Amino acid sequence: MPELPDVECFRRYAKVSLGRRIGEVSINKNRVLRISESTLRSHLLGNKFTSAGRHGKYMFMRISDGYELVLHFGMTGYLSYGEEIPEHSVFSLEMAGKRLSFVCVRKLGKAEVIKDRDGYIKKKGLGPDALSVNRGEFVRRMRDKRGSIKGAFMDQGVMAGVGNIYSDEVFYQAGVHPKRETGKIEDLDGLYRMMIKVIKTAIKAGADPAKIPENYLLRRREEGAGCGICGGKIRKTRINGRGVYYCPKHQK
DNA sequence: TTATATGTTCTTGT
DNA sequence: TACAAGAACATATA
């Protein structure tokens, strides 16, 4: 689930916690938390978050002590703000009676505290954020990629934020076959514009599948489903080990 | 029971 | 060597 639009919605959601003093830190230490419990506690306890940022699928919460809490949600992570500590919570921060919790069911997420965001992004080898990259930069970075366009979109080093679900969506909306060789795509401009449009639409819908437009592929990711664009039938294939859905009738 | 799943990262192969 | 593809990772669900 958590690709760029989802993480952007988490970021906005987390704004309720800005400026509130963290009164209690509850931790369930596991592989998701990459730093010691005492380090996390020393950065958070008694301090507050001053801003919430995002780069690709990574979220950065600036702490009043000058450091940043980095969250990555893996495949099944999310934030929860409420009275209770949810099951599978990695840590939960109490603020004025409510709790902001980082929940990670399949433990493929990451949480750590860093000093230098740009350095961290560089160390991770992330490309520019998919929503901030401009058209020229996008084309330049795509142009000399080998392999399928699907692989290029999923490569976080080319640009960060687009994953399996939303790359499928861009190709579906743009009528491009996901196995097309990147270098042989003549209309990279069109693909860029569609990517921005799809991401913005998803964010506006709160990244909630029920609020995503009905004719989106997201609403019909199953073999044999009716295409919402041309009346074809949705097919499933495999690219780079991932399940890819597309409509063979209008995606060329 | 086995296969599959949105994520990254490490390993393998070209 | 560089880069693309595949496997591994943890756990829930069909």
Distance CA(A221)–CA(A217), nearest Å, equals 6
Report the length, in residues, of chain A. Answer: 252
Question: Is A129 (CB) below 7 Å from strand C?
Answer: no
pTM for the full predicted model? 0.95
* Nucleic chain C contacts, protein chain A, residues 150-209, CB cut-off 7 A: 151, 155
Question: Is A240 (CB) below 7 Å from strand C?
Answer: yes
Residue A1: its pLDDT value, please? 66
Q: Which residues neighbour A215 within 8 Å (Cβ) at sequence distance 6 or greater?
A: A228, A229
Distance, CA of A26 to C1' of C3, in Å: 43
Residue A144: its pLDDT value, please? 84
In this prediction, the residues of chain A whose per-residue pLDDT falls under 50 are: none
Residue A41: its pLDDT value, please? 96
Q: Write out pLDDT tens, residues A70-114.
A: 999 998 999 999 999 998 999 999 998 999 999 999 888 999 999
Report how far apart, in Å, the C-alpha atoms of A52 and of each of A1, A13, A63 are.
20, 10, 9
Q: Which bases in strand C are touched by protein, i.e. have an atom under 7 Å from a CB?
A: 3-12
Nearest to A145 by CA among A181, A195, A169: A181
In sign, the C-alpha dihedral spanning A239, A6, A225, A184 is negative
Question: Is A179 (CB) below 7 Å from strand B?
Answer: no
Q: How many CA atoms lie within 13 A of A215 on its CB side?
A: 9
Distance, CA of A159 to C1' of B9, in Å: 17
Tokens of A33: 């938390």
Question: Is A30 (CB) below 7 Å from strand C?
Answer: yes
Largest CA distance in chain A: 58
